[in-house]
Amino acid sequence: MPSIINTTGRLEKSVRAMKIALSHSKDYLSNLEERRVFPSASDIENLKQFSEPLPARSSDPRRTLDLLAKFGGPATTATAAGRFFGLVVGGALPAALGARIIASAWDQVVFSDSTSPVGVALEKIVANWLLDLLGLPVTASAGFVTGTTAGTLVCLSAARHSLLHKRGWDVQKQGLWGAPKIHVVASEQMHVINQKILSLLGMGLADIEYVPCDENGAIRLEALPELTANSLVLTQAGNVNSGSFDPIGEIAERANKVGAWVHVDGAFGLWAAASRNKRNLLQGFENADSWVTDAHKWLNTPYDCGLAFCRSPKDVHAVMATVAPYLKEGETAAPKDMVPEFSRSARAIEVWAALRSLGREGVENLVDDCCRHAETMANALKSSGFEILNDIVLNQVVATLPGHEDKMTELASRVQQSGEAWFGPTTWRGRNAIRISISSWVTQDNDIKRTSDAIYKEIKELLN
């Protein structure tokens, strides 16, 4: 009779795999700063090495990891190094990266504290640290999600619930057919993911009342329509192009008088609250109702980690809970009852490591350094004849070369292909431009110089 499978020594294989993985990762990071930012054509071509039929038999894990490192690593974009300036994405701080590795070995399921005491304990601690660091209401809830898109789903579904509930409509039970309409007011500059979430939540895009913005992409307060207890106002802290901030405090003041809900998309810009130099951009933002941001953007944790904060945890619980949705004042809920996922990874571990290793001062320096680099970049581009199209209020630079605006997409593509740096093209107030977002802890003065030199070289060749 076959005996019970002997598991002794099985985890030894994991220990060996971890050593191999660490060695490959070390080699990868050691060469990353001098490596091309975007992979070469031959490195991309080599991805064909993965195109094999599903193996029929098991093999030594080392062979799989070696294959991954050999052909996968060179075909990555060097987002973890200092000259990736796309998507407002940072790298991974040393402590956060190390914590991710430890957390991978732990393989925790965050569901409730019966599945991961450490995962849940760190979530609570990190939530308090974040509310304090950012200056948000201490009783707000913090949900750990994949990114701003998922966080927006949490916040806007709580808003929808709250606004309809006040009008006697239980959207969870009754659905949306026949429900009173919510008056959605949004910046004409809002990020597209907000439209996606609104439409997922049944709030039709045709009904959005868009508010015109000023030159730098911030809501014009005088153009804000009259708000009522039925209004949901979508604002942003950090325009994805210009980095501008809506006058959130003033909007919240008006909204609070009538009981409207104000949501803040602060995917990267919310971190400005950690800087004494930049906090004024967010004046009064703590009086809004919900806020969303990404740790994987400016806090430089590894992908993917977004945070959904809500003034009224009860409203989040009402829409996300899988058990009876009631939450007493001051109580905290199991993680599974505050975000869309039933079970998920222990993202708070990396956020905890990032915050603990940086401290308050380190987060502030990270924000300030990136903003300083943005100014240096803008000045370098200006001295090469570029026009800077945005006010540099934060970490974003939008630039174009007057008379050659039609060449900006090709310019971005040429710099990407050169391997020196990575940024994308954009359109800003009807003008074609390049957009450079500086959010990485790795970026140094020399990276800014190399990037502006590369732009200068490529535009010269393009125009010749």
Ligand X SMILES: Cc1ncc(COP(=O)(O)O)c(C=O)c1O
Residue 395 binds ligand X (CB under 6 A): no
Q: CB 305 → ligand X: shortest distance, Å?
A: 9
Q: Which stretch binds ligand X (CB under 6 A): 36-44, 233-241, 340-348, 456-464?
A: 233-241
Q: Is 178 left (phi over 0), alpha (psi -120 to 50) or beta?
A: left
Q: Which stretch binds ligand X (CB under 6 A): 39-47, 232-240, 336-344, 428-436?
A: 232-240
Nearest residue (CB) to ligand X, 74 versus 243:
243
Nearest residue (CB) to ligand X, 162 versus 301:
301
Q: CB 115 → ligand X: shortest distance, Å?
A: 26
Instruction: Show the tokens assigned to 58.
Output: 């098991």
In the window 288-327, what residues touch ligand X (CB under 6 A)? 294, 306
Pairwise CA distance, residues 295 & 124, whole Å = 16
x-or-dash string of contact with ligand X, 101-140, rule CB under 6 A: ----------------------------------------
Nearest residue (CB) to ligand X, 143 versus 147:
147
Pairwise CA distance, residues 229 & 231, whole Å = 6
Edge-first strand listing for the sheet containing 141-145 = 141-145, 306-310, 290-294, 261-265, 231-236, 183-187, 209-211
Residue 233 binds ligand X (CB under 6 A): no
Helices (H) and strands (E) in the chain, counts: 13, 11
Residue 86 binds ligand X (CB under 6 A): no
Residue 267 binds ligand X (CB under 6 A): yes
* Residue 152 CB-density burial (10 A; 0-12 exposed, 13-18 middle, 19+ buried): buried
Of all residues in the shown chain, the one whose CB is closest to ligand X is 147
Whether 346 contacts 116, CB under 8 Å: yes
Cβ atoms within 10 A of the Cβ of 54, count?
4
CA Rg value for the chain: 24
Q: How far is CA 51 from the centre of its chain?
A: 32
Q: How many residues form the binding site for ligand X (CB under 6 A)?
A: 15
Residue 217 binds ligand X (CB under 6 A): no
Q: Which stretch binds ligand X (CB under 6 A): 50-58, 104-112, 262-270, 452-460?
A: 262-270
Sole binder of ligand X in the list 39, 74, 143, 147 (CB under 6 A): 147
Q: CB 197 → ligand X: shortest distance, Å?
A: 10
Residue 348 binds ligand X (CB under 6 A): no
Q: Which residues contact 205 (CB under 8 A, 6 or more apart)?
A: 195, 198, 199
Residue 88 binds ligand X (CB under 6 A): yes
Sole binder of ligand X in the list 100, 160, 183, 191 (CB under 6 A): 191
Q: Which residues contact 380 (CB under 8 A, 6 or more apart)?
A: 448, 449, 452
Q: Which stretch binds ligand X (CB under 6 A): 155-163, 196-204, 236-244, 380-388?
A: 236-244
Q: CB 363 → ligand X: shortest distance, Å?
A: 19
Residue 149 binds ligand X (CB under 6 A): yes
Residue 240 binds ligand X (CB under 6 A): yes
Q: CB 208 → ligand X: shortest distance, Å?
A: 16
Pairwise CA distance, residues 191 & 309, whole Å = 18
Whether 251 contacts 225, CB under 8 Å: no
**In this structure, which amino acid lies at residue 406?**
D
Alpha helices of 346-407 — where are they, by DSSP H?
348-383
Q: Which stretch binds ligand X (CB under 6 A): 61-69, 144-152, 164-172, 254-262?
A: 144-152
Whether 379 contacts 175, CB under 8 Å: no
The helix (run of H) or strand (run of E) holding residue 231 is strand 231-236
Which residues of this protein are in contact with ligand X, per CB under 6 A? Answer: 87-88, 147-149, 191, 193, 236, 238, 240, 265, 267-268, 294, 306
